[in-house]
Amino acid sequence: MLRVMVLVSGGGTNLQAIIDAVASGTITNTELVAVLSNNKTVKSLERARNAGIPAISVSPKDFESRAEFNEALLAKVDEYQPDLVVLAGFLVAIPEAMVHKYNGRIINIHPSLIPSFCGVGYYGLKVHEKALERGVKVTGATVHFVNEGMDEGPIVAQKAVAVEDDDTPEILQRRVMEQAEWILLPQAIDDIANGRIAVVDGKVKRLK
Cα 35 from Cα 110, distance rounded (Å): 19
What's the CA gap between 130 and 84, in Å, rounded?
31
pLDDT at 53 over 90: yes
- What integer pLDDT is reported at residue 120 of this predicted model? 87
What pTM, to 2 d.p., does this model score?
A: 0.94
Q: What is the pLDDT of residue 3?
A: 98
pLDDT for residue 161: 98
Round to whole Å and give the CA distance between 99 and 95: 6
Is 110 one of the catalytic residues? yes
Mean pLDDT, the chain, whole residue set: 95
Is residue 150 over pLDDT 90? no
Q: Which residue type sits at 5?
A: M
What's the average model confidence in pLDDT over 58-64?
93
Is residue 22 within 8 Å of residue 100, measured between CB atoms?
A: no
pLDDT in tens, 68-109: 999 999 999 999 999 999 999 999 999 999 999 999 999 999
Among residues 100, 110, 128, 144, the one annotated as catalytic is: 110
Phi and psi at 92, nearest 5°, equal -115, 135
Q: Is the pLDDT of residue 208 over 80?
A: no
Of 4 and 200, the structure prediction assigns the larger pLDDT to 4
The answer to whether residue 199 scores a pLDDT higher than 90 is no
CA distance 181 to 109: 7
